[in-house]
Amino acid sequence: MIKRLVVIDGHAILHRAYHALPPLTAPDGTVVNAVYGFASMLLRVIHDLKPEYLIVAFDHAKPTFRKKLFKEYQAQRPEMEKTLISQIDLVKRMVDLMGISVYGLDGYEADDVIGTISTAAGNQKLGDCQLETIIVTGDRDILQLVNNKVKVYLPVKGISESKMYGISEVEEKFGIKPSQIADFKALVGDTADNYPGVAGIGPKTAVDLLHKFKTVEEVYRNLNLASLEKPGVINFFEEMEFRSMIPRLSSGKEGALLMSQKAAKKKQDNSKQTSLF
């Protein structure tokens, strides 16, 4: 028997609802379009997914560890609209009144809280039952958490339609494994988070590199081998006709490794589980 835990990415769904709906107002003039959209999405999730357990995770206002690692992280994003900020507490209150647990942790984004919760859930034993986790989010970065116990339910049109992503759906959509998404972002960059990537490396080249070497770390380990030109050492980059990529990869090494290992990867921190549960 399978029991289902649904974890909702509170800020991601709130943002999506806010921008998907016109500025609806309550009788007193309070803007509530995000509250209405969030509630609609929440009720649809409960109806469609029928979870035994339900959690909502929110960002905290304090700077996250990513900002400390990479000061330009999300620096290009405009400030959150005041009419959206005013609805955050309303949504949290609504969720609380529905008896749904709300989770958050100083210094961590909701994504990282979700990563930690999904890891903890995967280790849970419920007698003869298996626990399946479904993450509801509008943030495609969270697809990196997909595995044989975790799926992602991603809105594809406003807040009215969604698609379920398991391992095969991620591989079909992006051409890489879920676990390689952070490495892919490290190579090609991400304008949403202001990650620069490696100049001159596009999506196709990044996918080809990850098919061959699996991770950014292995890309650079083999790049070092290629640069040695030792007899008997296979020059992987020559073999794959990536010789012209060597200078570009070399110049972007420090940033790519930082992004793949820390900044772009969603934290799954076992040490923080006691802070959450």
Q: What pTM did the predictor assign?
A: 0.82
The pair of three-digit structure tokens given for residue 43, joined into one six-digit string: 């009720």
- When pLDDT is averaged across residues 68-76 and rounded to a whole number, the result is 50
On whether both 142 and 38 belong to a single domain, the answer is yes
Residue 169 lies in a domain: yes
Residue 270 lies in a domain: no
On whether both 102 and 208 belong to a single domain, the answer is no
Contact 109, 73 (CB under 8 A): no
pLDDT of the residue at 264: 44
pLDDT, tens digit, 9 for 90 and up, residues 159-204? 778 999 999 999 999 999 999 998 998 898 877 666 777 888 888 9
pLDDT of the residue at 234: 47
On whether both 211 and 145 belong to a single domain, the answer is no
Percent of the chain with pLDDT over 90: 45
CATH number at residue 133: 3.40.50.1010
pLDDT band at 230 (very low <50, low <70, confident <90, very high): very low
Q: What is the DSSP pairing of strand 161-165 with strand 150-157?
A: antiparallel
CA dist list (Å): 188 to 74, 99, 149, 193, 206: 16, 42, 28, 12, 7
Total number of domains constituting the chain: 2
Residue 129, Cβ neighbours under 10 Å: how many?
12
On whether both 13 and 140 belong to a single domain, the answer is yes
- When pLDDT is averaged across residues 211-234 and rounded to a whole number, the result is 69
State the average pLDDT for the chain: 81
Residue 63 lies in a domain: yes
On whether both 56 and 92 belong to a single domain, the answer is yes
pLDDT of the residue at 220: 83
Domain stop point among 131, 151, 175 = 175
Closest CA to 7 of 121, 159, 126, 127: 121
pLDDT of the residue at 207: 93
pLDDT of the residue at 252: 78
pLDDT of the residue at 261: 67
pLDDT at 129 exceeding the cut of 60 = yes
pLDDT of the residue at 236: 55
On whether both 11 and 110 belong to a single domain, the answer is yes
Which of 133-142, 145-154, 244-253 shows the lowest mean pLDDT across its residues? Answer: 244-253
On whether both 216 and 146 belong to a single domain, the answer is no
On whether both 149 and 13 belong to a single domain, the answer is yes
Please report how many Cα atoms fall inside a 13 Å half-sphere around the Cα of residue 186, on the Cβ side.
30
Query: How many whole angstroms separate alpha carbon 223 and alpha carbon 137?
Result: 36
pLDDT, tens digit, 9 for 90 and up, residues 84-94? 999 999 999 99
Domain, as residue range, for 225: 181-263
- When pLDDT is averaged across residues 249-253 and rounded to a whole number, the result is 80
Burial of 39 (0-12, 13-18, 19+ CB in 10 A): middle
Residue 259 corresponds to which amino acid? M
Residue 32 lies in a domain: yes
Domain stop point among 175, 198, 229 = 175
Domain stop point among 175, 201, 223 = 175
Residue 254 lies in a domain: yes
pLDDT of the residue at 237: 57
Higher-confidence residue: 231 or 6? 6
Mean pLDDT is highest, among 119-123, 145-149, 272-276, for 145-149
